[in-house]
Structure 1
Amino acid sequence: MPYEPPTHAVERSLRATTGAKVVAGVDEVGRGAWAGPVTVCAAVTGLRRPPEGLTDSKLLNPRRRAEIAGTLESWVTAYAFGHSTPDEIDRLGMTAALRLAAVRALETLPVTPEAVILDGKHDYLGAPWRVRTVIKGDQSCVAVAAASVLAKVRRDGMMAELGARHGPFAFHDNAGYPSPVHRAALAQHGPTPHHRLSWAYLDALPRWKHLKRPRVAPVEQAELF
């Protein structure tokens, strides 16, 4: 399906309106998975012409995504990853876990961003970062698209490594997201140490339901910021 390539329009706007010269694009992967971390990538790209075919990672097949990620690693000005573990997701709630992963990525960058473009409509990052949220930013903004591809390839690689240790769950194929094989393995073997135990899938598994952890209340989540 044809798609419009991402541009630097948002980055140029931030430079013009805020004076920010170092702008990071931020995107996450793994939010809806049942197992594995949530992974955030922060990427700084400058205003150079992006690699051919760069777009939202979800629009790319695995082979093409890996090819573009390989190109991006040497093309971007800087990039870094942050992760929140399943235990952190269970204890903190997803919003706070996303923020934790994003801060870890941003603070690991070898340059300090003066502004951040965050994919989506919700600013889960907040102060002290200067944030511009962009719906479908992973399709329209070069830096966010780069972060999207790099995050997806990195997390898929991590899940493939976990899959080698937990074969019945086929993490190499489903990356921790629900699939028929994943569901069947859960019913038979129960959750691994890499599963999120506050997720509702445990409600449908009477044999393992006792392992479920309570979700963090919204008030508790707010106190974490």
Structure 2
Amino acid sequence: MLLASHTGHALEAGLDEAGRGCLAGPVFAAAVILPAAFNPRFLNDSKQLSAKQREALRPEICAQAVAWAVGQASVAEIGSLNIAQASYLAMHRAVAALAVVPAHLLVDGNRFAPLAGVPHTCIIGGDGLYRSIAAASVLAKTFRDEHMRALAANFPAYGWEQNAGYPTLQHRAAIRAHGPCPHHRPGFRLL
């Protein structure tokens, strides 16, 4: 059973990212503030859910959240900053896009670049412990997967509609056969 809150504050926002370990595409992050009573049956870390479960949860989260937003950092930003800093940038953009200013941030992981005026707590494995982080995990993953499916329409050789840019054997074989494209991350070991 996931916990409703860490601080007990009604405007606590969960933060998570998706796509950090990918070879291609932007990194996405989501920020979600949930009402205390929101507790759908199978809400969990997005990696523990099927694609069908994630897609079913997404509209429910978006409809019932106090506030939610998604941010991203581009392949060029990943290349110039590094993946960790680009992930923080995507998270900062998600928080900035919230319709409500959060009182506290619950961040999945062990590190975060602080935002002025907004206290935060990093929680390793937080997407499997807190509802708001799990919801952010679901939104970041589904919005990123949707983005990668759209990119796959113009770059079908890489199989992004299935691998979402992660380093699968199929993806690496396609890079070997066709070379990288502009959506592949510079500086990442592609092969």
**Which of the five TM-score ranges fits, normalised by the shorter chain?**
over 0.9
Q: Runs in 1 of length 4+ with deviation above 3 angstroms?
A: none
Q: Which residue of 2 aligns with 1:219?
A: none
CA contact 1:40–1:102 (8 Å) conserved in 2: yes
Q: Distance in 2 between matches of 1:92 and 1:116?
A: 23
Q: Which amino acid aligns with 2:3?
A: T
Residue 130 of structure 1 is matched in structure 2 by: 119
1:8 and 2:4 correspond: yes
Corresponding residue to 1:153 among 126, 142, 152: 142
Work out whether 1:174 is the aligned partner of 2:163: yes
Partner of 2:52: 63
Aligned sequence identity (%): 35
Question: What 5-or-longer segments of structure 1 have no aligned partner?
Answer: 16-20, 205-225
Counterpart of 1:185 (choices 161, 174, 181) is: 174
Q: CA deviation at 1:69?
A: 1.3
**Other-structure match for 2:74:** 85
> In structure 2, what is the Cα distance between the partners aligned to 1:98 and 1:75?
26
Change beyond 3 A, Cα 1:158–1:41? same
For residues 98-150 of structure 1, the C-alpha deviation after alignment (integer angstroms, 9 at most, x for no partner) is 1211111111110111110000122x221413111111110110110100011
* Greater per-residue helix proportion: 1
- Counterpart Cα distance in 2 of 1:83 and 1:160: 16
Distance 2:113 2:69 in 1: 16
Aligned to 2:36: 47
Give, in whole Å, the separation in 2 of the partners of 1:43 and 1:127: 16
Using CA pairs under 8 Å that are at least 6 residues apart, name the structure with larger relative contact order, 1 or 2: 2
TM-superposed CA distance for 1:70, in Å, is 2.0
Q: 2:96 aligns with which of 87, 95, 107?
A: 107
1:168, 1:181 within 8 Å by CA — same for their partners in 2?
Answer: no
Unaligned runs of 5+ residues in structure 2 are none
| Distance (whole Å) between structure 2 residues aligned to residue 153 and residue 63 of structure 1 | 10
Structure 2 letter corresponding to 1:7? L
Partner of 1:22: 11
Q: Is the 8 A contact 2:104 2:119 kept in 1?
A: yes
Q: Which one is further off, 146-155 or 125-134?
A: 125-134
Task: Please tell me the root mean square deviation across aligned C-alpha atoms, in Å.
Answer: 1.2
Q: Which has the larger radius of gyration?
A: 1
Structure 1: which amino acid aligns with 2:2? P
| Distance in 2 of aligned mates of 1:200 and 1:97 | 17
Normalising by structure 2, we get a TM-score of 0.95
